[in-house]
Amino acid sequence: MGAEPGPRREVVTARPRTERGGLPLPRPANPPGTGPAAPADDTAVTALMRRQMRAALTATALLVASLGLLPVLLRLLPLAGAGPSVPLAVWLVLGVAPYPALLCTGAWYVRRAERNEGDVTAR
Amino acid sequence: MNQTYSIAGVSAVVLATVLVGALGLRISRTTSDFYVASRSVPPRLNAFAVSGEYLSAASFLGVAGLVLAQGSDMLWFPIGYTAGFLVLLAFVAAPLRRSGAYTLPDFAEARLESRAVRRIASILVVGVGWLYLLPQLRGAGLTIRLLTGAPGWLGGLVVAAVVTVAVAAGGMRSITFVQAFQYWLKLTALLVPAVFLLLAWRSDHTPAPVWDERPVFQRSTQVRLDGPLTLTVEEPVRITVTGTVDGRARHGGPLTLDAGTHRIGAGTVLRFPSGARVPLPGTGGAGTAPSSGTNPLSAGREQHGLYTTYGLILATFLGTMGLPHVVVRFYTNPDGRAARRTTLVVLGLLGAFYLLIPLYGVLGRLYAPDLLLTGDTDAAVLVLPQRLIGGVGGDLLGALVAGGACAAFLSTVSGLTMSVAGVLAQDVLPTLGIRHFRLATLPAIAVPTAANAVVSDLPVADAVGLAFAVSASSFCPLLVLGIWWRGLTPPGAVAGLLLGGGSALTAVTVTIAGGAGSGWLHTLLAWPALWSVPVGFAAMVLISLATRDRVPASAAATMARLHLPEALTGHPGPATP
Amino acid sequence: MTALGTVVLALAGLALFALGAALGHAGARRQQENPAGPGTPVERATFHTLHTASLAAPPLRAGLTPDTARKAAKRLRPLLGTVALALTDEESVLAWDGVGDHHREEAEAQLAQAVRAGRTQTFALSCGNDTCPVRWGVVAPLGVDGRVPGTLAAFGDAESAVMVRAAEEVARWVSVQLELVDLDRARSGVIEAEIRALRAQISPHFVYNSLASIASFVRTDPERARELLLEFADFTRYSFRRGGDFTTLAEELRSIEQYLELARARFGRRLEVTLRIAPEVLPVTLPFLCLQPLVENALKHGLEESADRGRITIIAEDEGTEARVVIEDDGVGMDPQRLRDILRGRGGPSAGIGLSNVDMRLRQVYGDDHGLVIETGVGAGTKITVRVPKFRPGIRPAPLPAG
């Protein structure tokens, strides 16, 4: 690879087309061939969006219900007078438990979202 | 800490990174078979790369340091860093990929067809990128200071120079392979020492962990203070001192520190007996958690615990989707489905990594509480192998951890620098000409490097939290509303970005500069997400409703493209018949 | 330390926002340079008029719609100095700038006459409101290509010959702008046609040569012949597909691979190919069949015109917001002067239509910055570099044909 020793190469480019002058190229609002996509059925899109939105909101609700309420719970529960195993439990709840839970919620969501899309594609 | 081993460890990481970069190219070079075999980056490989780029110095060093300093409350950081990807998965991943956007400004333009929105998004991307780079460079400086004794700003400068040269020389070409390698390196660098640390802990007769109460010196410990310091002692403690205490010079004699505050001179060496409670630096407060020196953020956290915890949760949960270096990696996915699967794998990979962090925090509270006095809590992960294991074994494990830390800031700094440079070259400094992407790496990294030299007292993980807050208040509304709501208009997006992102950015800047004093005002500014995210969303929705006639004509078509599977709208999927 | 930090951060933030604001106004400022420069009052008035006209031109160049009419009318009214000005299509007012909007329907009643006759009409308006300055109007038809797509109407408080004349002149100027719209459309139509034409230009030589080399394997190695035939089928299906002018780099490279596989059947060991593809850039969208002609060119100069072995290297790399594709051969090279002629479209019918067409399409789609960069010399091989942005609004790959 690279230029071999011997004859030298010259850099050649076409001259900028004169009609554009120095002005920036106006972007084609609709470049050839990219017009409105395959006439997407609007109601189908809306229905799919609703179902996907529901799946996303369910996943978020799970997240909020489990992790989102934890700080309040930890604050409210009277931990001070409890036995010696309580701090360990707090550390396990905060340090270990969330990660498998997040992964499971994510896996559920992906399955659900792909099924929703599969329904549309299979129409 | 044995310098030779650690420097060898860091050099090995840099060398391995370069090798993987070259090897990645070599693999693709051999024949055309490789190309056929990998017509696209498979989700798993891309997930390794995303995780490798995402796990930064804040994750590797900062979180364990904060847990050491302030206990279990700080475990919300890694939870937020991971859960952010769940929110990203649910609301953004697939549609973002389907939009065809490479950067966030691209998405803004694709969805809203407005150059103005694009321009504002670009400026915010650069702001978030710089905020995120700042703590990375700090982590780098800290690591290099511990390894070689060089001042912190110099370490940051060296890393900035290395990354600039690497990016400019095209050394980050096979970036996917490099970043994937960095993930496994980081995981190994935490996992292997963790096993040995646990064994050492057991052979130390399994001392009970110090959970959220104030740490105690397990052994007789000698602490050398580089700078002057005020200590608050709660119960009298008998120590040995060489140096100045309360203005009087001491020469190795025993001394009883009464309860109350004591001024310790620079260069003083204190030896605490085994079993003594660790005194608090600073003038002391009501909180149980010690605050690390003059750090403005932790002070607010003690006073308004619940508010700051929720501020942190909201910022990290919603901010991940707007991090520039995360977004660009989604372009590598062949389609929306692969983008989702990549994100799911990332959730697993991050979880595996963060499971190890509390362990380091707990062991740090047991074996390295003196870091609370010197303020170097971010170094906990780095010093633990030496403290618990010692000898050549400790040195080797220390070298491994140092290498992992090096991988952490190298991967994140290079990823961020490249994405900020891309936006700078394309949108902010168009006079440079679009060909000067590599030239743009200079301002991309020079600004945070300079800031790093000036802002010296910001804990790594806290500064990352600020970047998340800005991202959550600007890009989260833009992405979520842009993807799920047809009614978003360009003026609405501009208003949301400016009010949400702008107010968060202002709050963060004031906080970093130390301009907010203390009390509620300070807490509100240091943890802006709880008010700035609603502001961003509200501004976007209300202004969009007020300018309904400006809904882009193509909104319906764009929505179809974002949500319908590629097979129905256009992009070739990964599998061809 | 913190004080210094404040200063630096504040400065950095300020600089950033100032930069953004400056950029935001850059385009506008470029157009709004103060027309009141030096010169006599008459010269200044001329400058002012020309400047105002230049501001009205861009909206009109997008055609006559309510939106563009509104923007243009706002610029044109100061030019005429009337209290009200309207732009209309054949039957209704598209945009009314100035006072007296309530005369809209009354004015619309006058349109049909002007459009039908193609001549300027003047008319008086009745108004119950004594203070209304709109008492009299002039409607000048716009003529585009023999049609009258609309009119320009100006209004004042009294009949004025000067205003009739001025309205006619401005209408003529607007007509010219609208004619340019048609020209633009025609030009993009020509370019689309050229793209379609290039697509059909899979060289007949290639088809012939491929089939001949496949035939040569039928007896000696039927399995190889079968594989090649399948490659050929795939390749032609991709090349002749309909619909969509954009594809992904992955698809384009796949087709190039099939092409090279077929070429290898012909040249055997004389052809060495090195592909070095960064997987990050595979999803990049680019014009359909814009690399294949470059590879064909490399093959032509690398092997067909010499008896030695030839090496072709294809590299696709990640360059931040762009992908860089390099196609290099170590063959006989090209005469730079002749290549320049080819790129200017003066190379004669046979020579490198592919190169100049690819160059033109890239410039059309991505701007002049993104034309081909060719390094070559006689006997020095050829290296062609293409840079494709990872994202451009509105550019998406087309679906694959089903099946």
Taking only the tens place, the pLDDT of each residue in B410-445 is: 889 988 998 898 888 888 776 555 456 777 888 889
> Is A88 a domain residue?
yes
How far separated are the first and last CA of chain A, in Å rounded?
Answer: 51
> Is A110 in Cβ contact with B344 (below 8 Å)?
yes
| Least confident piece of the model among B106-110, B170-174, C188-192 | B170-174
Strand partners, B249: B244
Q: SS3 for B108?
A: helix
* Residues in chain A closer than 8 A to C339 (CB atoms): 12
Q: SS3 for C388?
A: strand
> Is A108 a domain residue?
yes
C171 close to C142: Cβ distance less than 8 angstroms: yes
> Is C245 in Cβ contact with A10 (below 8 Å)?
no
Residue of C nearest to B426 (CA): C321
Mutate to test the interface with C, among B454, B458, B569 (most CBs of C within 10 A): B454
Angle between helical axes of B460-484 and B305-319 (0-180°, round to 10)? 60
Q: SS3 for C311?
A: strand
Write the pLDDT tens digit of every residue in C203-253.
777 788 888 888 888 888 889 889 889 888 888 888 777 666 788 888 888
User: Per-residue pLDDT for C314 more than 60?
Assistant: yes
ipTM of the complex: 0.87
* Residues in chain A closer than 8 A to C372 (CB atoms): 13-14
Mutate to test the interface with A, among C376, C391, C400 (most CBs of A within 10 A): C376
> Is C318 in Cβ contact with B514 (below 8 Å)?
no
Instruction: Return the partners of chain A (3 or more C-beta pairs < 8 Å).
Output: B, C
DSSP state of C129: -
Q: What percent of chain C has pLDDT over 70?
A: 83
Write the pLDDT tens digit of every residue in A34-67.
444 444 567 888 899 999 999 999 999 999 998 8
Task: Give the pLDDT confidence score for residue B497 in this predicted structure.
Answer: 95
**Nearest-CA neighbor of A28 among B98, C55, C189, B428?**
C189
Q: Determine the Cα–Cα distance for residues C256 and C250; give it in Å rounded to an integer.
A: 10
The residue type at C15: A
Q: Would the CA dihedral through C266, C268, C270, C273 be positive or negative?
A: positive
* Residues in chain C closer than 8 A to B118 (CB atoms): none
Q: How far is B385 from chain C (nearest CA, A)?
A: 34
**Nearest-CA neighbor of C336 among C315, C312, C349, C352?**
C352
Task: Give the pLDDT confidence score for residue A88 in this predicted structure.
Answer: 82
Residue of A nearest to B345 (CA): A103
Angle between helical axes of C2-31 and B502-512 (0-180°, round to 10)? 150
Mutate to test the interface with B, among C6, C248, C391, C400 (most CBs of B within 10 A): C391
A38 and B CB contact within 8 Å: yes
Strand partners, A96: none
Q: Which residue has the higher pLDDT, A103 or C49?
A: A103
Mutate to test the interface with C, among A13, A15, A17, A30 (most CBs of C within 10 A): A13
**Nearest-CA neighbor of B149 among B342, B7, B41, B328?**
B7
A13 and C CB contact within 8 Å: yes
* Residues in chain A closer than 8 A to B211 (CB atoms): 87-88, 90-91
Domain C200-389 matching CATH 3.30.565.10: the answer reads yes
Look up residue B116 and give its two tokens.
């103005």
Number of domains in chain A: 1
* Residues in chain C closer than 8 A to B505 (CB atoms): 13
> Is A25 a domain residue?
no
Mutate to test the interface with C, among A12, A15, A25, A27 (most CBs of C within 10 A): A12
> Is B348 in Cβ contact with A37 (below 8 Å)?
no
Task: State the average pLDDT over residues A112-118.
Answer: 92
Residue of C nearest to A38 (CA): C399
Q: How far is A10 from chain B (nearest CA, A)?
A: 20
**What does residue B60 show for φ and ψ, rounded to 5 degrees?**
-75, -45
pLDDT band at C196 (very low <50, low <70, confident <90, very high): low
Q: How far is B136 from chain A (nearest CA, A)?
A: 23
User: Per-residue pLDDT for B383 more than 80?
Assistant: yes
User: Per-residue pLDDT for B460 more than 90?
Assistant: no
Q: Which residue has the higher pLDDT, B324 or B301?
A: B324
pLDDT band at B93 (very low <50, low <70, confident <90, very high): very high
User: Per-residue pLDDT for B402 more than 50?
Assistant: yes
A67 and B CB contact within 8 Å: yes
Write the pLDDT tens digit of every residue in B261-279.
888 888 888 888 887 888 8
The CATH architecture to which C41-183 belongs is: 2-Layer Sandwich (3.30)
B475 close to B423: Cβ distance less than 8 angstroms: no
Q: What string of DSSP letters covers B255-291?
A: EEEPSEEEEE-TT-EEEEPTTPBPPEESS--SSSSPP
Provide the phi-psi class of B551: left if phi over 0, else alpha when psi is between -120 and 50, else beta.
beta
> Is A94 in Cβ contact with B79 (below 8 Å)?
yes
* Residues in chain C closer than 8 A to B428 (CB atoms): 16, 19-20, 23
> Is A95 a domain residue?
yes
Residue C61 exposed, middle or buried by CB count within 10 Å (0-12, 13-18, 19+): middle
Task: State the average pLDDT over residues B530-536.
Answer: 95
Looking at chain C from residue 372 to 391, which residues have their Cβ under 8 Å from any Cβ of chain B? 387, 390-391
Q: Which of A16-30, C102-116, C221-235 has the highest mean pLDDT?
A: C221-235
CA atoms within a 13 Å half-sphere pointing along the CA-CB vector of C147: 9
Write the pLDDT tens digit of every residue in C209-223.
888 888 888 888 889
Report domain extents, chain B.
Answer: 3-25+47-203+289-564, 221-277
* Mean pLDDT over the full length of chain B: 82
> Is A9 a domain residue?
no
Fold of the B3-25+47-203+289-564 domain? Sodium/glucose cotransporter (1.20.1730)
Q: Determine the Cα–Cα distance for residues B242 and B221; give it in Å rounded to an integer.
A: 14
Report domain extents, chain C.
Answer: 41-183, 200-389
Looking at chain A from residue 24 to 53, which residues have their Cβ under 8 Å from any Cβ of chain C? 24-25, 27-34, 37-38
Angle between helical axes of B115-148 and B437-454 (0-180°, round to 10)? 60
Range of the domain at A87: 41-121
Q: Determine the Cα–Cα distance for residues C183 and C180; give it in Å rounded to an integer.
A: 5
Contacts of residue C386, defined as CB under 8 A and 6 or more positions apart, other chains included, come to C290, C291, C294, C324, C325, C326, C327, C362, C370, C372, C373
> Is C340 in Cβ contact with A9 (below 8 Å)?
no
pLDDT band at B32 (very low <50, low <70, confident <90, very high): very low
Bridge-based pairing state of the strands C322-329 and C136-144: unpaired
Q: SS3 for B160?
A: helix
User: Per-residue pLDDT for B287 more than 50?
Assistant: no
DSSP state of A4: P
Task: Give the ranges where B424-459 is alpha helix by DSSP (H).
Answer: 437-454
Shortest CB distance from C380 goes to which of A7, A29, A31? A7
Write the pLDDT tens digit of every residue in C332-349.
888 888 888 888 776 655
Shortest CB distance from B32 goes to which of C257, C369, C395? C257
Angle between helical axes of B104-112 and B555-563 (0-180°, round to 10)? 130
Look up residue C301 and give its two tokens.
């100069």
A62 and B CB contact within 8 Å: no
Residue of B nearest to A61 (CA): B87
Q: How far is C268 from chain B (nearest CA, A)?
A: 15
Task: Give the pLDDT confidence score for residue A16 in this predicted structure.
Answer: 60
> Is C391 in Cβ contact with B101 (below 8 Å)?
yes
User: Per-residue pLDDT for B34 more than 50?
Assistant: no
Task: Give whole-number Cα distances, B465 to B107, B153, B308, C194, in Å.
Answer: 24, 21, 11, 54
Q: Determine the Cα–Cα distance for residues B289 and B259; give it in Å rounded to an integer.
A: 18
Looking at chain A from residue 84 to 123, which residues have their Cβ under 8 Å from any Cβ of chain C? none
User: Per-residue pLDDT for A115 more than 80?
Assistant: yes
Contacts of residue C391, defined as CB under 8 A and 6 or more positions apart, other chains included, come to B100, B101, B102, B103, B106, B110, C321
pLDDT band at C265 (very low <50, low <70, confident <90, very high): confident
CA atoms within a 13 Å half-sphere pointing along the CA-CB vector of A98: 31
